Structure 1
Amino acid sequence: MSQHLSDLLLTPAEMAAVDAAAAASGIDSFGLMERAGAAAAAAALRLHPDALRFVLLCGPGNNGGDAYVAARHLQAGGATVALFHLNDPSRLKGDAARARAACALQGQALDLYRPESGDVVIDGLFGAGLAREVPADVSALIGRVTEAGIPVLSIDLPSGLDGRTGKVLGAAFRSQNTITFMTRKPGHLLMPGRQLCGELEVFDIGIPARIVRAAAGGDIAENRPDAWKSVLPAEQLETHKYKRGHLVVFSGAADKTGAARMSAISGLKAGAGLVTIAAPHAAIAANAAHLTAVMLHALDDEADLEDWLSDRRLQTFVLGPGFGISARARGFVAALADRHLVLDADGISSFKDDPRQLFDLFRGKPRLVLTPHEGEFSRLFPDIGGDDALGKVDKAVAAACRANAAIVYKGADTVIAAPDGRALINTNAPVWLATAGSGDVLAGIIGGLLAQGLPAFEAAAAGVWLHGEAGQRAGKGLTAEDLATHVLPL
C-alpha cells in the first residue's frame, strides 16, 4: 500500500464516503471546506501574481462552496474579485450555503460573464462529482473562456470531466492548474482528463489518513512499483539461466523478422535467463545475421511446435510481433494453451472473427497477457469497446474478466487489468513512445518478466512501467531499436 495519501486513487463515490465518514466522526465539515477554499485562493495568488482579476465560478454544490470561500480569502488579500454563480444561489444548502453567506461579494448569473484581458478563472462549478453532460449555458461559457485563452485554475477537477473515467461530459475546461484534496481521482490520470487538468496539486485539508484509507477500495491505482514489487523474484547468488526462465519469441517470415528480434532482445534485457527466437527455416538466416545473445530454433508448423514443447522447461512465449494474421497463429496459440503467453499484434488480430476460441483455451489460473491497442481491443471485445457508458478502466476490467487474462489496454493512459477486478493506470510513459515497434518491445519485456515467474497481472504492470522508464532514458527521437537497448531489469 502507498505510504502517501496523495498517491492513492479514490473514485468520486469513495471520496464522498470519506467526506461522510469524516463528518460522522465529528470533524467539522465546514472547517474542511474552509481549508479547501483557502488552499485554492493561495494557489491562485501563487500561480498568478499578476492577475488583474480573479473570476470565481460557483456551482450548486460543495465545489461551489469551496469557490465562495476562495473568493472571500482573495478579497481579504486585496485582490480584485468577481463572482458568477450557476443557478439560484439562494437554493444552496449546508456548508455551501454557509460559505456563500460568509462571502460579502454579490455574484452575477453565470451567463453574464465575459472574459477580459488579465482575468484568471477559478473553476468551482462541479468538481469530480459530475455524472451527466454539462448544461448548455456552462458549455457556452467553457467555449468563451477557451476561445479567449483565459487561464483556468480548477478546484478538484476541471468542470465537465467525469472524475471516474476522465471523459468529457459535453464540454470541459482546459485548466492550467488543478488543485484537489487528500487524494487524486482516476479522472486525473485517464485521458483526456490528464491533459485537461494541467499541473495537478494535491492538498491535505486534514482528514485523518485512517478515514481516507478505509474508504479506498484499492481496485484502481496508479501503476507504480508498490503495486507489484512484492512478487519480484529474490536475487540469489546461486542461480543459473534456467532458474531465471526461458522465453521464446515467435518470428514472422523472412521479410518480417525485425519485430520478433526487438521483442526477444527486450525480454533478455528485462532479465530472462535465456531467450530463443523460434523462426521458420526460411527466416533463420535473416535472424541469425542480427543476433548474438539470443538463440535460434527452426520451426515451421504446429507439428514442429508440438515436438518442441515436450521440453517442459519451455513455459513462456511471445506470439504476434510480425507473425502474420493467420490460422497458423491460431494453431500455435492452441498448442500453447497450458503455457504462459503474451499475445500481441497479429496474434490478437488472428482471433478477431472468433474471440471466444481464444478465451476458452486459457481457463484456470491466469497465464495469458493480451496487449491490444484501441483498434485491436475493439476487434477482440467489440461490445465492450463500443459501450460509451464505460470508461477505459471499466472496459479493461470487463475484458480481463471475459478473457481470464491480464489486459494491457494500450494508449497514452495505458490501463492494466486483472480478471479479479484490479486495475492500474500507467503514467510514466513519455509521448515519444508512440513509435513503430514500441509495442514489440513492450511484449518482450512482459514476456521476460513472465519467464522469471511473475504472475500475469504483475508481469504486465511491471512491464508497462519498465517500458515507460526505458522511453524516458532513450529520450526524444527514439526508435524501437533504441528503446530496446535502454530496457533495464527490475
Structure 2
Amino acid sequence: MLAADQVLTVRQMVAAEERLMDGGADVHELMQRAGRGAAEYVWRIAAGEPVTVLCGPGNNGGDGYVIAEAIRERGGKVQVVAAREPGTDAARRAASLYRGAVVGAGEPRGAVLVDCLFGSGLNRALSNEFESLLNDLADRHGCVVAVDMPSGIDSDNGTLLAARLPHYALCIALGAWKRAHFLMPAMACWDAARLVDIGTEREAGGAVLLERPRISAPASDAHKYRRGLVTVVGGAMPGAALLAAKSAAHGGAGYVKLLARDAGAAPEWLVAQSIGDGDLPDALADERIATVLVGPGLGRDDNAKARLNAALGSGRRIVLDADALVLLGVPAPGAILTPHEGELAALEKRFGLASDAGKPERAAALAKATGAVVIAKGPDTLIAAPDGRLAFAPPAPSWLSVAGTGDVLAGLVAARFAVTHDAWQAAGEAVWLHGEAARTAGLAFHAGDLAEAVKPALVSCL
C-alpha cells in the first residue's frame, strides 16, 4: 500500500528505500524516479528560463544530475555546478548520464537555482565553504528550489545547521515527507512544499500527515444527546469559555452547555447555568455528558483548582486547555491536552520531563507520562498519543496568531471528542478543521470570525 501521507525520520526513509530495493528496484532506478519527478516541478517553475543545479557529492547530488538531464532532454537551458566530484556509485552513474554543461561556481546566473547539495542527509553544521557557495549562487538567481530538504537543515528536528540559508520558493520532498517539512524553524525557509512519490510503502512506526477528515452527517434518528453533549466549565473570564462553546456548536456537537460561576447573559443557542464550585461535581455527574472542556477562561486561583478537580473527578471524557494545563498536577489518562509552547514547558517541569529534545519527542514523552493525547500547538502543530502514534498538521495560515484561536481549537476538540468518542481521531479532526477554518476566515480575522468559519470547514468534510 502506497503511503504518501507518511512522515519519516531519515533512518525510517533509508529503511523504506531498502525495502523497495529488496522488492527489485535498485538505487539507480529510485534516483531516476525521484530526480525526474522533481524535474517536473523545476520545469514548470523555470518556464523556459535558465536553470542551475548545484550538485553535492552524495545521492542528493545524484538526484541533481538526473534533474539537469531531464530538463536538458526537454530542450531547457540548464547547467550544473559540482560542489564536489560525485562520491557514491549512484551519483557517479547519474553524473555520467548527464550530457549538459558543468560550469564553475562563479559563472552561473539564471532564473532558478536547484539546491541538491546535501538534502536530507546532513546532520551536522554546514561548512563555511558550502554555506558561502550556496548563498552566493542563490543571490544570483531569482528563485531557489530545494530537493528533498534545503542543505543546512536537520531533517529529523527542523533545526538550522547554517547561520544563513536562502529562502526557497519550493521544497520538493522525495519518497516521503520528512519531519522537518512540518517543524519550525525549517518550515519558515520555504513558501511551499510538494512530494514526489517513488513507490514507498508505509513504514512501521512512521508518523502521518493529517489529511482532510471524512465526517458524516448525524444519523437519521439522531437527537441532541446522541450527537454529543459538550459541557464547558467556565471560570473567571467568560469570553474564552463562550468562544470555545461557539466553536463546539459549529464543530458538530448536538448540545453545548456552559457551567459558569456567573453565567450572565448568554446567546440564545447556548444553555448557560451559574454553578458554584461546590455544586459543580453534581452538575458534572449527568450521564448524558459526552465531553467536558475545562481551561478556557478558568483562572488560576483556588476556585479554579476546585473546578478543575471536579472535572477530573467526573469520569467523563475530558479536554484540558489553557489554565487547566497550568494547574494540572496529575496524569489524565484518556484525556486530550492542548498545550502551546509555554504550557508544554510547564507540564514538562511538573512531570519531570526533559525539554531539550525536538518537539515530536517532547510531545510524545508528555503523552506517555500523562496517558493523554497531546496536541502540541504552534505554527508547527503536531499530535502525540501515549502508544507512540504521531501526526503532523499541514501548515496553517499565520493569521491564526491572534488571541482566542486556542479557545476555538479547544471547543472543536471537545465537539469532535463528543461525536467520535476517540481521543486520537478527535484531535486529528479538530486540528485539521481549525486550519481549514483559518483558511476560510481569510485575512486579519479575530477569534470570533474563526469560530464562525468552523461551520464551512466542517461542511467541506461531509
Give the TM-score normalised by structure 2: 0.88
Residue equivalent to 2:233: 250
CA distance in 2, matches of 1:69, 1:269: 50
Aligned residues: 452
The answer for the alignment partner of 1:438 in structure 2 is: 405
- Aligned pairs for 1:174-253 (under 5 A) are 174-205=167-198, 207=199, 212-214=200-202, 216-217=203-204, 219-225=206-212, 229=214, 235-253=218-236
Residue 225 of structure 2: SS of its match in structure 1?
A: coil
Aligned equivalent of 1:427: 394
Contact residue 244 and residue 409 of structure 2 kept, 8 A: yes
Q: Distance in 2 between matches of 1:17 and 1:306?
A: 52
Q: CA deviation at 1:234?
A: 7.5
From 411, 419, 437, the equivalent of 1:470 is: 437
**Helix, strand or coil: the match of 2:224?**
coil
Aligned equivalents of 2:285 and 2:73: distance in 1? Answer: 79
Structure 1 residues 79 and 245 mapped into 2: Cα distance closer, same or farther (>3 Å)?
Answer: closer
Residues 161-186 of structure 1: per-residue CA shift (max 9 Å, x gap): 22233332235442222333333223
**Residue 374 of structure 1 contacts residue 410 of structure 1 at CA under 8 Å; is this kept in 2?**
yes
Counterpart in 2 of 1:386? 355
Task: Show the counterpart of 2:42.
Answer: 44
Deviation at 1:452, TM superposition (A): 2.6
One-letter amino acid matched to 2:288: R
AA in 1 matched with 2:146: S
1:197 shift after superposition = 4.0
Q: Deviations over 1:31-52 (max 9, x none)?
A: 3323433444454333213534
Query: Residue 249 of structure 1 aligns to a residue in which SS?
Result: strand
RMSD of the alignment, in Å? 2.8
1:66 to 59, 63, 66: 63
Larger displacement relative to structure 2 (95-104 or 473-482): 95-104
Supply the distance in 1 between the matched residues of 2:232 and 2:436 (Cα, whole angstroms).
23
Following superposition of structure 1 onto structure 2, how do residues 341-490 of structure 1 map, counting pairs within 5 Å? 341-351=318-328, 357-359=329-331, 362-363=332-333, 366=334, 368-382=335-349, 386-387=355-356, 390-427=357-394, 429-488=396-455, 489=458
Q: Is the 8 A contact 2:319 2:413 kept in 1?
A: yes
1:97 aligns with 2:97: no
What are the equivalent positions in structure 2 for 1:127-166 lying under 5 Å apart? 127-145=119-137, 147-148=139-140, 150-166=142-158
CA distance in 2: counterparts of 1:197 and 1:100, whole angstroms: 28
- Judging changes above 3 Å, is the alpha-carbon distance between structure 1 residues 445 and 411 closer, same or farther for their aligned structure 2 residues? same
How far off its partner does 1:5 sit?
4.1
Q: CA deviation at 1:486?
A: 2.4
Give, in whole Å, the separation in 2 of the partners of 1:485 and 1:72: 51
- Structure 2 SS opposite 1:248: strand
SS of the residue 1:296 aligns to: strand
Structure 2 residue 314 is matched with structure 1 residue 327: no
Distance apart, 1:246 and its partner CA: 1.9
Q: Equivalences for 1:23-42 in 2 at 5 Å?
A: 23-42=21-40
Deviations 1:263-306 (A, max 9, x none): 112112222222211111xx332xx2x421111222222x2212
- Distance of aligned partners of 1:124 and 1:259 in 2 relative to their CA distance in 1, 3 Å threshold: same
Summarize the Cα distance change of 1:241–1:102 in structure 2 as closer, same or farther, 3 Å threshold.
closer
For the 8 Å contact 2:396–2:436, the answer to whether it is kept is yes
The question of 1:269 aligning with 2:250 is answered yes
The 3-state SS of whatever aligns with 2:168 is coil
SS in 1 for 2:279: helix
- In the alignment, residue 277 of structure 1 is paired with which amino acid? L
Gaps of 5+ in 2: none
SS class of match (2:156): coil
State the 1:409 CA deviation: 0.9
Separation of aligned partners in 2, 1:264 and 1:77: 57
Aligned residue in 2 for 1:354 = none
The 1-side partners of 2:393 and 2:59 are apart by: 30
SS at match of 2:257: strand
CA 146–310 in structure 1, closer or farther in 2 if over 3 Å, else same: same
Q: Say whether the 8 Å CA contact 2:138–2:144 is kept in structure 1.
A: no
Q: Normalising to structure 1: TM-score of the pair?
A: 0.83
**1:156–1:178: 8 Å Cα contact kept in structure 2?**
yes
Q: Is the 8 A contact 1:158 1:174 kept in 2?
A: no
Distance 1:45 1:457, change over 3 A: closer
Maintained 8 Å contact 2:397/2:438: yes
Cα separation, 2, equivalents of 1:106 and 1:239: 68
Q: For the residues of structure 2 that align with 1:196 and 1:380, how far apart are their CA atoms?
A: 30
Instruction: Report if aligned partners of 1:349, 1:379 keep a CA contact under 8 Å in 2.
Output: yes
Of all paired residues, the percent bearing the same amino acid is 35
Measured after TM superposition, the shift of residue 444 of structure 1 is 1.0
The secondary structure found in structure 2 opposite 1:83 is strand
CA displacement at 1:453 relative to structure 2: 4.3
Which residues of structure 1 form unaligned runs of 5+? Answer: 352-356
Whole-angstrom distance in 2 between the partners of 1:452 and 1:203: 36
Greater shift after overlay, 61-70 or 403-412? Answer: 61-70
Q: Secondary structure at the match of 2:369?
A: helix
